A and B are shown apart, each in its own frame.
Chain A
Amino acid sequence: MSILDSRITRRRFIQGAGGLALAASPLSAPFVLAQPARLKVGLMLPYTGTYASLGNAITNAFKLYVAEKGGKLAGREVEYVVLDDESEPAKAVDNANRIVNRDKVDVLIGTVHSGVQAGMVKVSRESGVLSIIPNAGFGAATGQMCAPNIFRTSFSNWQTTHALGKVMIERGHKTCAWITHKYAAGEEMFAGFKEGYEKAGGRIVKDLWLPFPNVEFQALLTEIAAAKPDAVACFFAGGAAVKFVKDYDAAGLKAKIPLYGNGFLTDGTLQAQGASAQGILTTLHYADSLDIPKDKEFRLSYAKAYKLQPDVYAVQGYDAAQLLDIGLKAVKGDLKAGKALVAAMEGVTIDSPRGKWKMSKAHNPIQDSYLRQVVGEQNKYVSVAWKALEDPARGCKMA
């Protein structure tokens, strides 16, 4: 991180020195005035640690959109201030304060980890800086702590699991067991699932919780086998998702009790999960082989630019840039036009690779939840599990 800092400082020093030189020469002064000030975009994301690949995908896609617009948003050249938040909640407030108050960014983009997000939301509310969340599903960000200057282009934790219950009932699974890690995100995902499943007429016979980040599942798999539910729903991501899917299969449960989850169970993990993941059904706001022209276009240009296939995180980063662009255009790049800017961003319909979505009053996407099935190394689109799913935004005074 210190390397990044020094680089920024050096760049700023050179800019400063250049500015002085220009100011000193009376001839060049008019040119300086004619040039609109650069737009400082702060990217506070994880670039090291478990979530580094998510932070990179978001950054890549954000920069891809800006590059497509010739490096400018609403006529203002974009300058990036990059900060690695390390997915470290303890440093979140300090880091956010630094990038907002010391680096004086115009817009704050971040982050992935919900714990870090909680700290960032606090700083955003205090400073009033325009903030866009490109991943973290932390419910309160567009719930109790919602604010006019805070937007989200990803999802709320509640949204990712809510459609799952309906899907399971449609497939005849009237009882189920739930399993996840015991921490804030896991509890929010459980709440979303429980509400949807019970409303659809299902009964949760057992909810099982592991201390985070423990991944020794055998004891709880034995509990599932003993409870004999019709199906199992879960939330796991990353390394835990790989291990859970493999263990579930090795314990012989996959063939007897179908496994469901939200999309994180099988996103970016399929190569590692191999045969154990085949056929698993999940819900998420993005899928492979969506028949959406915008998606095909996006995948092609992303693959061209980075020699990588984009994922759901890249889509969320791309939409963060789109949202910012639309807002800025409406106020001709003038961030001081606070209310007009917020109004423009609130009324937005984003033409996203995941399909068109609208912004809710609480500033969270109203989006389709897709049912996907693992086929080979793809999360293939099956159907729309829930059309225009909106987070209830409980506790948000704007909603």
Chain B
Amino acid sequence: MDPVIFLIQVLNGVQYGLLLFLVASGLTLIFGIMGIINLAHGSFYMIGAYLAFSLTRLHGNFWVALAAGVVIAVAIGAALEWLVMRFLYQRDHLYQVLLTYGLILIFEELRSLVWGDDVHGVAVPQGLDFSIPLTDNLSYQTYRLVISAICLAIAFGMYWLIQRTRLGMMIRAGAVNREMVQSLGIDIGLLYRLVFALGVALAALAGMLAAPVSSVFPGMGNQVLIISFVVVVIGGIGSVKGALVAAIAIGLADTFGKVLVPQIAGMVVYLLMAAILLWRPQGIFGKA
């Protein structure tokens, strides 16, 4: 492989990996740190993308739409937590699987009622809708690089929140022993509502940011659900750092898989997962 092309493929892989991290970030919080199985993660991602579509139509500016979308997503997350999720923390994981699977069906139907079944596109934000030339015939979309920068910022923000703040300490403590945290006088109910809402908002934010490069279509949530779980599991449950490393590893594996072994490109990511879990069953940064 030509060295220039090789470097571009590395860039493709890292950029795709960062996008995967963004997509999986909400799940890292809800599943990885709170320990709740959330199959509706993809639905929140889809809602975000459709919100980006509607809100950019209402208000021309993409970033204003983004801010409004995050507010709506936080509200949806908090409402869902209050309505249904809070009854299931103490229950078996199977109940969470059933509930969140039900949510997938409900959100898919709602999406069909509200937005219909057509494919939509969201324009790349103004000022970023140009490409940087890399070779004589290939360019790189600036917006993709901007997304990568935002992904890194979110990764560091999350790491700081979880590992370095008092709130993060409470969240981690709550995941380990709910009763103990409660008996120390912390309102665990409110804390969980906050974290769940934040997780939903992150998933929706990912959907909104990805909308201009991924287009908006029915069933888009299901496509990201599995890969998001793969990211969290490979990285090690509960580790933001792990999720970031895992996402980039998957991005590179997927990119080079398509180029070098196209016959089995669909399997490469899962082979990588199997290999890593054989080596470290708890994931790269997971605690044994």
User: A269 in the interface, Cβ–Cβ < 8 Å?
Assistant: yes
Distance (whole angstroms) from the CB of A227 to the closest CB of chain B: 10
Do A209 and B215 touch (CB < 8 A)? no
Do B121 and A271 touch (CB < 8 A)? yes
> Are A239 and B215 CB-contacts (below 8 A) given A48-B112, A219-B9, A269-B119?
yes
User: A238 in the interface, Cβ–Cβ < 8 Å?
Assistant: yes
Closest to B8 in A: A222
Do A252 and B2 touch (CB < 8 A)? no
User: A268 in the interface, Cβ–Cβ < 8 Å?
Assistant: yes
- B interface residue count range (under 10 / 10 to 19 / 20 to 34 / 35 or more): 35 or more
Do B131 and A211 touch (CB < 8 A)? no
| Central interface residue in B15, B116, B262, by most chain A CB within 10 Å | B262
Do B137 and A253 touch (CB < 8 A)? yes
Residues of chain B lying within 8 A (CB to CB) of residue A225: 5, 135, 137-138
> Are A50 and B219 CB-contacts (below 8 A) given A222-B5, A250-B141, A256-B137?
yes
User: A182 in the interface, Cβ–Cβ < 8 Å?
Assistant: yes
Residues of chain B lying within 8 A (CB to CB) of residue A208: 262
User: A133 in the interface, Cβ–Cβ < 8 Å?
Assistant: no
Distance (whole angstroms) from the CB of A307 to the closest CB of chain B: 14
Distance (whole angstroms) from the CB of B177 to the closest CB of chain A: 40
> Are A52 and B266 CB-contacts (below 8 A) given A221-B138, A252-B138, A268-B118?
no
User: A72 in the interface, Cβ–Cβ < 8 Å?
Assistant: no
Do B137 and A228 touch (CB < 8 A)? yes
Residues of chain A lying within 8 A (CB to CB) of residue B262: 182, 208-209
Which of the candidate stretches B24-32, B35-43, B188-196, B253-261 sits at the interface with the other chain?
A: B253-261
User: B12 in the interface, Cβ–Cβ < 8 Å?
Assistant: yes
> Are A250 and B214 CB-contacts (below 8 A) given A50-B117, A219-B259, A238-B119?
no
Q: Mark A205-223, 1 if CB is under 8 A from B, else 0.
A: 0001111111110111111
Closest to B142 in A: A250
User: A257 in the interface, Cβ–Cβ < 8 Å?
Assistant: yes
User: B63 in the interface, Cβ–Cβ < 8 Å?
Assistant: no
User: A272 in the interface, Cβ–Cβ < 8 Å?
Assistant: yes
Distance (whole angstroms) from the CB of B96 to the closest CB of chain A: 25
* Complex-state Cα separation, A228 to B135, whole angstroms: 11
Distance (whole angstroms) from the CB of B137 to the closest CB of chain A: 4
User: A361 in the interface, Cβ–Cβ < 8 Å?
Assistant: no
User: A274 in the interface, Cβ–Cβ < 8 Å?
Assistant: yes
Q: Mark B112-151, 1 if CB is under 8 A from A, else 0.
A: 1000111111011000000101010111110110000000
* Complex-state Cα separation, A239 to B50, whole angstroms: 13
> What are 21 residue pairs bridging A and B, where the CB atoms are less than 8 Å apart in the complex?
A52-B218, A53-B117, A182-B262, A208-B262, A209-B265, A225-B138, A226-B5, A228-B137, A239-B219, A242-B215, A247-B213, A250-B139, A250-B143, A252-B138, A268-B118, A268-B119, A272-B119, A272-B215, A272-B216, A273-B121, A274-B121
Closest 3 CB pairs of A and B: A211-B266, A239-B217, A252-B139
List residues of A whose CB falls within 8 A of some B CB.
48-50, 52-53, 182, 208-216, 218-223, 225-226, 228, 238-239, 241-243, 246-247, 250-253, 256-257, 268-269, 271-274
List residues of B whose CB falls within 8 A of some A CB.
2, 5, 8-9, 12-13, 15-16, 108-109, 112, 116-121, 123-124, 131, 133, 135, 137-141, 143-144, 213-220, 223, 254-256, 258-259, 262, 265-267
User: Apart from A220-B258, A252-B139, what are 15 other A-B pairs with CB-CB below 8 Å?
Assistant: A49-B117, A49-B219, A50-B218, A53-B116, A209-B262, A211-B266, A218-B16, A228-B137, A239-B215, A239-B217, A242-B217, A251-B131, A253-B137, A271-B120, A274-B121
